[in-house]
Amino acid sequence: MDLGIKGKTAVVCAASKGLGYGCAEALAQAGVNLVICARTQETLDDAAEKLRAFGTDVKAVACDITTEAGQKAVLDAAGHVDILVNNAGGPPPGHWSDWDRDDFIKAVDANMMTPISMIKAVLPAMIDAKWGRIVNITSQSVKSPIAVLGLSNTARAGLTGYVAGTSRDVAKHGVVINNLLPGIHATDRAVSLDTGVSQAQGITMDEAKAQRAATIPVQRYGTSEEFGNTCAFMCSQYAGNMIGQNILLDGGAMNSTM
């Protein structure tokens, strides 16, 4: 399927591994030029090298995307941005009684204000060009709260509210903004959450993983490849009528009719 976005430029944040990398790879396969970022230079360079094999231009910017300097470095490297995929590491798990104001501010900065700042930065030029695609990687926890991820539930719900209104405001300019909500996917983040379950319950990592997979109708974790290709579709020419949606990729884990 030709996604109709060959030659466009995408910024994919937090993309040296996991879901961000999956999105970058699917966009590279669609012929999109990329600016990717992550904090660790070595893994970022490795990712950029793999992506260049698809024949597109790939710039790698080592930075913390949750900082103003990081956001500026990425945007400067890109020039005009046709496609923006917002992503950053998720807040740590814990218990409601552990979190104080600073923990919430940190989570809101990383998982709400960072994507909002990136969206604000790219929107004017997308509106002028009468074309743009923005996908925010959020979480299933937006629709179906996970108590130990209270910081994530809170910050991502705020971003979701912002996207709901803003996406409808800019839709008339050909700019399409949506959220992509991962359930459990087989990435380093899942390993770290498996480790939490294994330690809390005194079970092995395999047992922890099997226990979590058993809660999902597909009985397995999602893959970055499935996730990335869904993201690429949401950035395609065919996504022009999809506005302000929250697309859940959770293997059916959320039990609801709609």
Where does this chain bind ligand NAP (CB under 6 A)?
A: 14-20, 37-40, 43, 64-66, 87-90, 137, 139-140, 182, 184-185, 187-190
Q: How far apart are CA 33 and CA 60, in angstroms?
A: 11
Q: How far apart are CA 44 and CA 75, in angstroms?
A: 17
Q: How far is the CB of 58 from ligand NAP (least distance, A)?
A: 14
Query: In the numeric block, which tokens belong to residue 223?
Result: 């893959």
Read off the amino acid at residue 166.
Answer: T
Q: How far is the CB of 216 from ligand NAP (least distance, A)?
A: 11
Q: How far is the CB of 202 from ligand NAP (least distance, A)?
A: 23
Q: How far apart are CA 106 and CA 118, in angstroms?
A: 17
Q: How far is the CB of 149 from ligand NAP (least distance, A)?
A: 8
Q: How far apart are CA 74 and CA 246, in angstroms?
A: 26
Q: Which is nearer to ligand NAP, 39 or 173 (CB)?
A: 39
Q: Which is nearer to ligand NAP, 29 or 144 (CB)?
A: 144
Q: How far apart are CA 163 and CA 223, in angstroms?
A: 25
**CB-count burial class (<10 Å; 0-12, 13-18, 19+) for 94:** middle
Q: How far apart are CA 253 and CA 213, in angstroms?
A: 10
Q: How far is the CB of 139 from ligand NAP (least distance, A)?
A: 4
Do residues 197 and 212 make contact, with C-beta atoms less than 8 angstroms apart? Answer: yes
Q: Which is nearer to ligand NAP, 88 or 175 (CB)?
A: 88
Query: In the numeric block, which tokens belong to residue 247?
Result: 């697309």
Q: What is the dihedral of CA 226, 231, 232, 238, to 10 degrees?
A: 120
Q: How far is the CB of 30 from ligand NAP (least distance, A)?
A: 20
Q: Which is nearer to ligand NAP, 10 or 137 (CB)?
A: 137
Do residues 81 and 9 make contact, with C-beta atoms less than 8 angstroms apart? Answer: yes
Q: Which is nearer to ligand NAP, 20 or 150 (CB)?
A: 20
Q: How far is the CB of 258 from ligand NAP (least distance, A)?
A: 21
Q: Which is nearer to ligand NAP, 129 or 253 (CB)?
A: 253
210-232 burial string, b = 16+ CB within 10 Å, else e? eebbeebeeeebbebeebbbbbb
Q: Which is nearer to ligand NAP, 175 or 193 (CB)?
A: 193
